[in-house]
Structures are given as C-alpha cells and as structure tokens.
A and B are shown apart, each in its own frame.
Chain A
C-alpha cells in the first residue's frame, strides 16, 4: 500500500539531500517566513514544507498531479485534516504505549508487536470508514487512487483474516517448530509450523505411516531446562516475531508516509487560509517545459511581504515570454528586491506543486534556481568583498546546467562601475549563451545600458517606477535603464580625475 499523494508513482522521501544552495535561497528569498506560515508552529510541517519546496518537480505533469490534489484539499479541508489525524493518532499511541520494542527476545518482540498491530488495525478501520464516506467527493487522480486502494486492500475479508492471525499469534496450544540437524548435530533452521488439520493425520494414522511421538516433561524445579525450552521456543518464534514486528513497522511506515505526504498539503492549507484572510489572491500556475521561455503573470506579489506586513500588498504584471534575460533597474527603495523575491518564490512554489501568490501566472520550469545577492557583511573590506562575491559566483557556475535560473541582486557592485559592469556583462552574456535564464537587479548603469543598446530580442528591461515628483509606487514597469547618478557632478568629476591619474600612473608603469 503506497500513499503516492506527492508523486503519481513514488514515495516522497524525507531526508533527501537538498541542493547545496538551500541556505542561500532561504536567506535571499525569505523562505523561512513562508515555511513558518505553512507550519503554524509545527516543526514537522515546517520541515516537510522545506523539503518539498527544495525538491522541485521536473515536469509539468508531476506539477499538475499535485495541483489537482491540492485543489481537492482546498475543497475538502475538513476531510483532509481528519485523515491527517489518523497517522498522528498512531504515532501518539505508539509513543504512549510502546517506547519502541525494547526486548531482544522473540517472545517479547512478538507480544509487543502483536498488540501494536491490533492498535494499528483499529486505525486502519477508521481510515477505511472515511474512504467509504467521502471518496466520492474527491476529483484528483491522486486522491481517487488513494481511496480506491484503501477500499480494495482493506476490505472486510482482509480485516477478518488479520483478526484471526492476531488471535493465532497468541499460541494458546503451544508452538510447533520444525528443525534440521546443523553442524555438530545441533538443531538448526527452526521454522514455525502450522499444525496439519486433524483429519489428514487420521488418514495417515490408519495406513500406519504416522511418526512415533516422544514426549518429555520437565521436572517442576528444572529452571535451567525451562529456560532452555524457552530459548528453543524463542528460536522457533524468531522469524514470525520478526515478521510481525516488521509488519507493524511497515504499517507504521505507511502511517508515517501518509503523515509526511499530507503534511505538505496541510501546510498549503494553512498558508491558503492565511492569505484568504488577508484578502490576497492565489492561483494555480500554468507550468511549461524547462526548454521554453515563458513568463507572464498578473498581480504577482511577494507572499513573504504580505505575511510579514499582515496586509495585502501590491502586485506586478509582466509579460516576459521568450525572454532569457530580464534586467531590473531603478531607484532604491523602489521595490526591485521585493519584485525579484516574488519571482523566485513563485518559481519555487510552482515547481513543488503549490499555488502561487498571483492572479494568474504562467512560466517555464527551471532545472535549478540560484540567487546571487550582494552581501552586506564585510562592508569595510572592499577588495575582499569582490573576491567573496566572485567566489560565490564561481560556486554557482560549478553547479549550473542549461535551463537553470539565476537571480542577481546588485551583484558585482563591490568595485567601480566600469569594472563591475564588465564583470557583470561577461558573466551575463556567457550564461545566456549557455541557456541560463538571468534576472538581474542592478545599479550598474554601464552594464544595463550596454545590454539595452544591443536591442536583444531575448532581453526585457524593467524599471522600478518613480513618478516625476519622486514618489515611489513600488510598481515594476517596462522601461530602459536610467542613469541613477545624475546630478552628482562633483563626485563624477573627482571620480574621472582619479581615474585619469590612475591611467597616467598606469601608463608610466607600462614600459617598465
């Protein structure tokens, strides 16, 4: 029995290795705010949300599979939460009554595991009842398969069979084991046997083929003998005790899987409920193959900003279809970083099957998402900072593959503009040629302007809007890069002078 609510054909594996840049992504995209909203104080939900978000799906089909299930969850939140309580109950009962199977003796293992099975079977009955009552209202293929499986596998006949075994496993009339002669004629290969039906024995008795039977009764004070007989019994029960304990573990694993896979959707439900309260819209994105270049959305907002501000925040509309490069320029405090974050968040949310914070959203998948943000620390050591930035960049490049996506936020500004622009330009152009999608928030005018002048068909230029009176709207609109350092003549002059002096110095050094 497989849960298969995260993937149509496989389990959701907890503890998978996450991409190496998880910590960077968390920091740059404020992801902990998102996870916290999904978790609602529950550590487990937090971890699962994290795990799911960082294990992106590869295909639009897989994404749609989860989207359908999530839609069912949004329609039937109570039923889904009711199902989620079953594995929770199993885990709590287990914690209360079985601190793990502590004994090493098969007899003890068997009795502990048998009782645990009884408890699990009761919960499975509850699950079956929910399936019988509500299966009809669910539309997603994932839930329909899940309920159908529960109804098929856990029918009345099966529950009857299990009850019978749970009774037999008490071994009221003794334990029958078969043995063979191992090395040194020591008994080995002990196998627990089910006694043959009586009538068969009778036939054999009549035709005289029945084996003689030798009996031995222990002296009542033969403690050593009783212990030895107990050990033998244990050997006989070893396999079945293992089988019963493992079965209990398997059912336990099934419950764990159910809890794990539903936890993702419970997290989504939690988030949904909060956003609804804020009056923020959500929509199910339209995922497209990674090879395509499509990105268009209406009302895309930064979900972490909305959650932090606890209010509705403004969204943006952009159509960047067929673009490999999006350059975002404009004044400080104009919403560029928020915009870039909303792009990254939506991408990750879409790729794990979640809804996105937008009125509508359609985008191609990317095979991995990277962020390269200016870091505030180390502000004093300018040269060390560029070095640090470039080493982070190099780490990203090591891991890049075609159809990856890189979000740059004011990168390479740790040096003068010309050098920074040149570095940014060289890196960006190289990435584009390698089919990497680039989103670049920058103040480097030379860099942005240079690319703008090329009139590349696959580039889009956006700008943080600033009205004529200087008021910021926090809207991102299409527009060519503007030189932000206008009016700073003095600075400019000195800067150029400095440069000239440097140039002269360099020329003088040259011939040597």
Chain B
C-alpha cells in the first residue's frame, strides 16, 4: 500500500486547512483552553484545523488510536521528534536563504539546509528500522521512507552535498586587520599566537578561573565587510565556490512533499501526547475510549475536566475525578446539588470527552465508551447578560429552538442552568417542555439545573448531584454522584451546623 496521510486512512477525507474557526461550543466546554494549550509552542505547524475537525467514522478514529499508541512508545516518539527538530532547522535555513543579500552566503546556507535534511532523513530511516511499529499508519510511512532514501534523487543529493561541504571546509585564509583597512590572502602555516601566550603563563595556572571569552552573537547575518572578505576568499578559491553554485542550482527543490506533510501531521499526535504527559504527572490517567455511532450506552470512570486539570497543573490542589454511566434506555443526566460543587465542570467534562474522542485522542479517565456524535450543542447561562430579562428569555428560547431544529438523535446536548434568571414557575414549565422534546429526539444530554423534578421525569433521565462533606457542609467534595436529587439535604446540614434545624431551634428556645 502507498502511504498518504498519518491522520487519515484514505486521502479523500483530508482536512481543509482553512478550518481555522473553532466549533461554536468550544468556549462553553473550555475546549478552546485545552486546544490552545495543546498547540502552544507549535504554531508553525498550524495544527488547529486538525483539532477543529471531529471525525465521524470509528475506523479512522481507531486508525489514529493505533498511531497514537505507537507514539506513546518512547523510542518511536524520540525518532519522530528527532525528525521534527531537524526539519525545523531545515525550514529555518531555507527561510534564511530567502532573506540574505550575498550570493555566496545564500548558497552557503542552502547547502546547510540540504545537509541537515539529508541527515534528518537518513537518521529517520535508521531509527524507524529499529523500532517495533504496530500502527497501519506508521508501518506504511516506514515503507515509504525506506523507498525514498534508496531513490536516486535522494542519494545524489546526499553525496553531492557532502562533497561540496568537504571542499569548502578545507578553505583557509588569513585577514590582516589594520586601522581602516584589511588584506586577505591564503593561510600559510602561521602559528597560533594565543597558544604561545597561554604556554608562557601556563606556570601560574591555579585551577579554574573566570572565562573571558566573548560570545559573538550567533545571528546569521553578514555585514558588507564580511561579505567583502568572503568575496576575496571566493576569488582565492574559485573552483570550490563554482561547485557550490552548481549544487544550489541543481537541487533548488530538494524537500520531499510527502515527508513535508507527514512532518506537520504527526505533530497532531506529538502535541496531544506532550500535553497529556504533563497532566499524567499529576497522577491522572488517560484511556483509549471505545467509540460507536450506534450504541448509546456511554460511560467513563475516573475522568476529569481537562481544562481544569491544566489550570491546576502547577498548583498543589488535587483534581477530583468522577464517573458516569448511561445504560439503555437512559439518555439524560440531570445534575443538581449545591453550587460551586463541580456541576458545570462535570457537564463540560462530558462534552470534552466526546469531542476529544471524536478526534481519535485518548481521553481523561481509566476507561470509557463514548458516542460518535454528529454535532455537539451547548447552551450555557451567561451571568452578564441579564440586563433585559424578557429579551434574554426570548434569546434563550430562540437559541434552544435553533438547537432543537438542527439536532438529530445522534447529537449531544449540554445545557447549563438555562432559565436561571426567570421565575421558578416559568423555569419549571419551560424546562419540562424542552426536556420532553429532548427525550423525544432520544439524544444524549447533560442538563445542569436547580429544578429537581427534571431528574425523575422518565426512565430516560438519571439524577446526579454534587456533594458536600457530611461533617462540614461548607466543604465541597467536587464529587458528582448518582443519587436522587434532594435539594433540602444540603440546606439541612448547613442549618444543623449553625444549630438552626427545627429540633435545634426548639431546643434552644425552650431554655
């Protein structure tokens, strides 16, 4: 088989590079933070289009899982990263060539680019032959590389680049610098004066002393004096510079297109795994989820909000993991309980999991089975929008209407405290109306709400609640557990703490 893409099984399903806009639900689910973190430091690869494009077929997702698992092997990761690092250098040198002014200088850097490229490809082929690959993607890629390095095109590039470098490296010249002028000629065996000075004072050596070497800036520039010297040197050694000129013309386009694309696409995996590694250091786990576009049983254990985990990465604060499980015919998780208890985080997490799974990435958690959605819809209450209540309610309903119009049974819906700013009676009524439609669509849904009754409307809904520490109700556990909603439990425990329960007040008042 021929190698085409490390991201897709067949090339027809490739990605439009212009997909530079994040899906609408990104900011509600904090996926924007996650993807920004993953792709930060890798801007030159323009990876976001890959992360903005969910997959809808399980086979491609498993194709990526295979590659991702291979990439989790340190030996393989090292091999690919070595390629990437060298390719960065190649691109930087080629970019330099475009910007430089003097011909011998341009040709010089072009040769360096070719040399690094040859080394990168040769090393890659060697390293790949030593690693144990399992994924279809990387196996095909290895085959491609093996053929490529044996090609005449690559072999002659390799040989000539080294030959030209060799003859240039032998060039030696002398510059005599005087005030306002200089002379250039060939080197003629003159002795090293620094060595003589060092030898003279050798006897005083007393162990380590300060290093006074100036570090000339490594910027690859050439001023007109250096250019003039190089010009003189080229006149002193005409054949050597002619060979360089011929090389530059002949190999002007040496970079292989397939390799170039691979170098970019594979960064999708590297970026994700590097990000996951940082999270794993906090003791959290990732797993490769089972995905299905038909089976609506979804579950995950010990999973967490990846954006939150990232935010708490360098803080001494544990990340609380949660579980969920929807079995037939359950479709809707109604999350209620005390505020600031992790309800919104839980809702986001469920959305994140499904989205990350649709990219073919490992997801937070010990194990997971997730649904291959066609679309994700979110509606999060935004506190700052409450200037015009009536207008806002209208807005909300318009948006929900739109969602319900576009949603299919394969969509996922995440609602967070909608109708919070309307009257309770309205909120209950509207919520019941909406949830009925959601149930009718049979879509997966997480609904964060203060309206308890929603959780027991039908066999399609389950109730999960945020919890508190029984001894100190003011402390949240950030655990969301499956149990019947009971808004009073929390209020009662707080009251008890302040000795304000019914019994307590009676007792206190009786004295």
Task: Tell me whether A and B are bound partners.
Answer: yes
- Known A-B contacts A184-B108, A192-B194, A193-B193; the reply to A104 vs B214 at CB < 8 A is yes
Known: A214-B232, A257-B206. A196 touches B188 (CB 8 A): yes
A204 to B190, CA, bound (A): 14
User: At the interface with chain B, which of A219-227, A302-310, A414-422, A499-507?
Assistant: A219-227
Also in contact, A178 and B190, with CB within 8 A (given A247-B197, A250-B204): yes
Is B65 engaged at the interface, CB distance under 8 Å to the other chain?
A: no
A202: CB under 8 A from chain B? no
Q: Does B393 contact A (CB under 8 A)?
A: no
Is residue A244 contacting chain B, with contact meaning CB distance below 8 A? yes
Known: A109-B212, A184-B96, A232-B225. A216 touches B193 (CB 8 A): no
Per-residue CB contact flags for chain B residues 159-184 toward chain A (1 = under 8 Å, else 0) read 00000000011011111111011111
Q: Does B69 contact A (CB under 8 A)?
A: no
> With contacts A104-B214, A196-B190 known, is A218 near B180, CB below 8 A?
yes
Interface status of B440 (Cβ within 8 A of chain A): no
Q: Are A243 and B201 within 8 A (Cβ)? A: yes
Assuming the A-B contacts A180-B169, A193-B191, A214-B185, are A242 and B226 also in contact, with contact meaning beta carbons closer than 8 angstroms in the complex? no
Q: Which residues of A contact B96 (CB under 8 A)?
A: 184
Cβ contact within 8 Å between A232 and B226: yes
> How many Å lie between the Cα of A214 and that of B224 in the bound state?
15
CB pair A181–B108 under 8 Å, yes or no, is yes
Q: How far is the CA of A257 from the CA of B207 in the complex (A)?
A: 11
Contact status A249-B209, CB under 8 Å: yes
Cβ of B78 < 8 Å from any Cβ of A? Answer: no
Which one of B183, B186, B194, B216 contacts A240 once the chains associate, using CB atoms below 8 Å?
Answer: B194
- Asked if B109 is an interface residue, CB under 8 A from chain A, the answer is yes
The closest CB in chain B to the CB of A209 belongs to B188
Residue of A nearest to B234 (CB): A185
- CB-CB under 8 A for A185 and B104, given A161-B200, A193-B193: yes
Any B CB within 8 A of the CB of A396: no
Using known A-B contacts A183-B108, A193-B193, determine if residue A232 contacts B183 with beta carbons closer than 8 Å: no
| Interface locus among A65-73, A169-177, A401-409, A432-440 | A169-177
Q: How far is the CA of A225 from the CA of B232 in the complex (A)?
A: 16
B172–A178 contact, CB under 8 A?
A: yes
Do A243 and B181 have beta carbons less than 8 Å apart? no
CB of B194 within 8 A of CB of A191, answer yes
In this assembly, does A390 line the interface, its C-beta being within 8 Å of a C-beta of chain B? Answer: no
- B236 proximal to A (CB < 8 A): yes
Q: In the bound complex, do residue B209 and residue A243 qualify as a contact, i.e. CB atoms below 8 Å apart?
A: no
Contacts of B252 in A (CB 8 A): none
Residue A267, interface by CB 8 Å: no
- Chain A residues with Cβ below 8 Å from B175 are 176-179, 232, 236
Q: Is the CB of A244 within 8 A of B197?
A: yes
Q: Does A231 contact B (CB under 8 A)?
A: yes
**Distance between B190 CB and nearest chain A CB, rounded to angstroms:** 4
Task: Verify B213–A235 contact, CB threshold 8 A.
Answer: no
Complex interface: chain A residues within 8 A of B190 (CB) = 176, 178, 193-196
CA distance A214 to B181 in the complex (A): 11
The reply to whether the CB of B21 lies closer than 8 angstroms to some CB of chain A is no
Does B222 sit within 8 A of A, measured CB to CB? yes
Which residue of the partner chain, among B111, B112, B224, contacts A228 with CB atoms under 8 Å?
B224
Instruction: Give the residue name and chain of the A residue nearest to B190 (CB).
Output: A193
CB-based contact A185/B168 at 8 Å? yes
Q: If the complex has contacts A184-B105, A250-B209, are A235 and B181 also in contact, measured as CB distance less than 8 A?
A: no
Q: Are A185 and B107 touching (Cβ within 8 A)? A: yes
Contact partner, B189, options A117, A192, A196, A235, Cβ 8 Å = A196
A175 to chain B, nearest CB (A): 5
A342 within 8 A of B: no
Decide yes or no whether B500 CB sits under 8 A from chain A. Answer: no
B387 at the interface (CB under 8 A from A): no
Residue of B169, B184, B220 ringed by the most chain A CB atoms within 10 A = B184
Q: Is A217 an interface residue (CB 8 A)?
A: yes
A249 touches B200 (CB 8 A): no
B184 to chain A: closest CB distance in Å? 5
Q: What A residues does B191 contact at CB under 8 A?
A: 193-194
Decide if B173 touches A178 in the complex (CB within 8 Å).
yes
Is there an interface contact between A174 and B193, defined as CB atoms closer than 8 Å?
no
Complex Cα distance A220/B177, Å? 16
- Contact indicator per residue, chain B 214-247, by CB within 8 Å of chain A (1) or not (0): 1010001011111011101101100000001000
Q: B174 contacts A247, CB within 8 Å? A: no
Task: Flag if A214 contacts B183 (CB, 8 Å).
Answer: yes
- Once bound together, how far apart are the Cα atoms of A9 and B175, in whole Å? 46
In angstroms, Cα B214 to Cα A176, docked, is: 18
Closest partner residue, chain A, to B109 (CB atom): A184
Within 8 A of A (CB), among B89-139: 93, 96, 104-105, 107-109, 111-112
Q: Is the CB of A181 within 8 A of B174?
A: no
- Please determine whether B177 and A232 come into contact, CB atoms closer than 8 angstroms: yes
B508 at the interface (CB under 8 A from A): no
- Let me know if A99 is at the binding interface, CB within 8 A: no
Chain A residues, Cβ within 8 Å of B220: 183-184, 186
- Given A212-B185, A216-B182: A250 touches B108 (CB 8 Å cut-off): no
Please encode chain B, from 373 to 403, with 1 for each CB lying within 8 Å of some chain A CB and 0 for all others: 0000000000000000000000000000000
Q: Is A288 an interface residue (CB 8 A)?
A: no
Q: Kindly list chain A residues whose C-beta atoms are within 8 Å of the C-beta of B93.
A: 184
> Contact at B112–A184, with CB atoms within 8 Å?
yes
B187 in contact (CB, < 8 A): yes
| A239 contacts the other chain (CB 8 A) | yes
Of chain B, the residue at the smallest CB distance from A217 is B181
A191, A235, A236: which has the most chain B beta carbons within 10 Å? A191
Q: Which residues of B contact A240 (CB under 8 A)?
A: 193-194, 197
Q: Determine whether the beta carbon of B225 is less than 8 Å from that of A249.
A: no
Asked if A165 CB lies within 8 Å of chain B CBs, one says yes
Q: Does A213 contact B (CB under 8 A)?
A: yes
A residues less than 8 Å from B233 (CB atoms): 181
**Residue in contact with B230 in the complex, picked from A187, A242, A257, CB distance below 8 Å:** A187
A264 to B107, CA, bound (A): 64
* Beyond A184-B93, A250-B206, 13 extra complex contacts between A and B, CB < 8 Å: A178-B190, A180-B172, A183-B109, A184-B112, A186-B226, A194-B191, A210-B188, A214-B232, A241-B214, A242-B212, A246-B211, A256-B206, A257-B206
Cβ contacts A to B, 9 pairs, < 8 Å: A174-B176, A174-B177, A193-B190, A194-B192, A194-B196, A201-B188, A241-B212, A246-B209, A253-B209
Chain B positions near chain A (C-beta within 8 angstroms): 93, 96, 104-105, 107-109, 111-112, 168-169, 171-178, 180-194, 196-198, 200-201, 203-207, 209-214, 216, 220, 222-226, 228-230, 232-233, 235-236, 244
